Amino acid sequence: MVVAIDSQIYSDYIEIGYCAKSHGIKGGLTFSFFNEDSALLRENVSIFLVPQNKKSNLPIDGANYQIEKISYGNKVIVYLQGVVDKTAADAMIPFLIKIKRELLPKLNDGEYYVAEMVGLSAYDFNSKKYVGKIVDYYENGAHLVFVIRGEGVSGDLEIPFTDAFFPHVDLDKKEVMVIVPEFVE
């Protein structure tokens, strides 16, 4: 099982969501998490914000902020220290939200964070030949699907993350074994 927390890791930080909207006139921000059940953030936790595009006034390499207040409900509303009004909040948007990896809950055997999977090398389970690297993922409604990009191959391989297609994951070796589906034409 993969817990839906996304992709790029900056050193010891892991991406957990994004912000595209402010909330109210006092500098509130509406956070959206990749894992909708996530309640990792709380007051006084330090988070790392990375701009999603040039509209954001955040430094291109990102910046640390401390959570002053947070409320979970239909929306997750966050107030950050130093962000005192709507103008300041709007200037930061859009941005990605990252937290220190150590804040993430420990997982059971056979469970992985998406961020741990993206970037792993994929090998064919039967032939042991290199297939490519996991470069992305998406949800198709039934499964998490990993996108594997091979070298010298036209198009990406999209494989559902199930035991039937991913019989072995080795995070220490940074590799997965995949059973490449046979396609019927």
pLDDT in tens, 134-150: 998 888 888 889 999 98
- Is 111 domain-assigned? no
* Biggest alpha carbon–alpha carbon distance for the chain: 59
| CA atoms of 117 and 129, how far apart (whole Å) | 19
- pLDDT per residue over 44-82, tens digit each? 999 999 999 999 999 999 999 999 999 998 899 999 999
Q: Both 90 and 163 in a single domain?
A: no
Helices (H) and strands (E) in the chain, counts: 2, 15
With CA atoms as reference, report the closest residue to 70 among 103, 29, 35: 29
With beta carbons less than 8 A apart as the criterion, state whether 98 and 14 touch: yes
The DSSP H or E segment spanning 117 is helix 114-117
Q: What is the pLDDT of residue 152?
A: 64
Q: Both 50 and 137 in a single domain?
A: no
Q: What is the pLDDT of residue 93?
A: 98
Structural domain total, the chain: 2
With beta carbons less than 8 A apart as the criterion, state whether 76 and 33 touch: yes
User: Confidence class of residue 8 from pLDDT cuts 50, 70 and 90?
Assistant: very low
Assign residue 27 the CATH number of its domain.
Answer: 2.40.30.60
Q: What is the pLDDT of residue 153?
A: 65
Q: What is the pLDDT of residue 58?
A: 96
Q: Both 39 and 122 in a single domain?
A: no
Enclosing domain of residue 80: 2-103
- pLDDT per residue over 103-121, tens digit each? 888 888 888 888 788 899 9
Residues 157-185, mean pLDDT to the nearest whole number: 88
Mean pLDDT of the chain: 87
Residues 75-102, mean pLDDT to the nearest whole number: 95
Assign residue 123 the CATH number of its domain.
Answer: 2.30.30.240
- Is 185 domain-assigned? no
With CA atoms as reference, report the closest residue to 147 among 185, 113, 184, 117: 117
Domain closes at, from 68, 103, 138: 103
- Is 46 domain-assigned? yes
Q: What is the pLDDT of residue 4?
A: 38
